[in-house]
Amino acid sequence: MMKTLLALFAMLLLSGAARAAELECIVPSKPGGAMDLTCKLAQKGLAGLRATPNPPPSDMHISYLPGGIGAVAWHSLVSQRRAEPNTLVAFSGGSLLNLAQGKFGKAKASDVRWVAALGADYGMIAVRADSPYKTLADLMAALKSNPTKVLIGVSGTIGSQDWLKMAMVFKAAGLNPKGLRFVALEGGGEAFTAMHANFVQVVSGDASEATLYASGNTRVLAVLSEQRLPGVLANVPTAREQGIDVVWPIIRGVWMGPHVTDQDYRQWVSAFDRVLANPEFAQTRAAAGLFPFGLTGDALAAYVKKAVDDYGKRAAEMGLVR
């Protein structure tokens, strides 16, 4: 009996050590959205360093931990997996907005270790290709006429990034966002699936997600960028061009647990510094529909702290209090 227990204990230790040795990127949503894309971008970026001197570990596997618009993954790492040296978690500007509003409970930006921002994204508004709404003006007119007839799919609930950027668009067009019908979904992939099934008629999401789904069954009405974006969405007008002055940039990157050692943390910061400096990564990022924006380590942590403060002020302006 004792031998059996010792053998079982040894197996548990080995499995725990194996998990710590594996390189994992956690997507805090369901497959198919921009969080998924972020982990895949990190995976490709690290793989691009294999032929360089002293390459970092690059055999990354991607796992999915949806729930609570990111809260489940956050609390899993912060409370149960605090010191795993090879576990990364994808984040976006939406994650920072959730922190600012207290949607992760009493969590603070300083509770985790911010590793790298890999690129920038922008908000966008999409409908099905067979939708009667050909322009942003068409959609706004329909909502003004009868706001209850149009279901708008967003990742998260009231106060989420997708809700807030859409609310700003409506407010700029003279509409009351609280009179509209939003459907809370778990990630961009689920939102596009719901739209293509006609469960919702509009998706408030991100340009990178629209790039993934920019096939014959999707029409993007507007991008929330300063200027038109290159690539697949090059012909899509900005909201500004259509008379609605709303711009919504989004950063995308990865963080890790709070008790990861300084040595392990600095190694990953250094690895992603090399990723961002690799010319091939710029091409990979562009192919994913993202744009240049790179910060790592302490510089990223400082950016995140300021962004959370700014998001909190913006949410307060929209009457979102937690």
- Tokens representing residue 42 in the block: 């990190």
Q: Which residues contact 223 (CB under 8 A, 6 or more apart)?
A: 122, 123, 124, 207, 229, 233, 236, 237, 238, 239
Residue 246 has pLDDT above 70, yes or no: yes
In this prediction, residue 20 has a pLDDT band, given cuts at 50, 70 and 90, of: very low
**Domains along the chain with CATH numbers:** 18-120+250-317 (3.40.190.150), 122-249 (3.40.190.10)
Residue 267 has pLDDT above 70, yes or no: yes
Candidates 186, 190, 212; CA nearest to 38 is 212
Cα 257 to Cα 47, 191, 278, distances in angstroms: 22, 29, 26
Q: What is the pTM of this model?
A: 0.79
- Cβ burial 219-257 (10 Å sphere, 16+ → b, else e): bbbbbbbeeebeebbeebebbbebebebbbebbbbbbbb
pLDDT tens digits for 194-235? 999 999 999 999 998 888 776 778 999 999 999 999 888 999
pLDDT tens digits for 106-154? 899 999 999 999 999 999 999 999 999 999 999 999 998 988 889 999 9
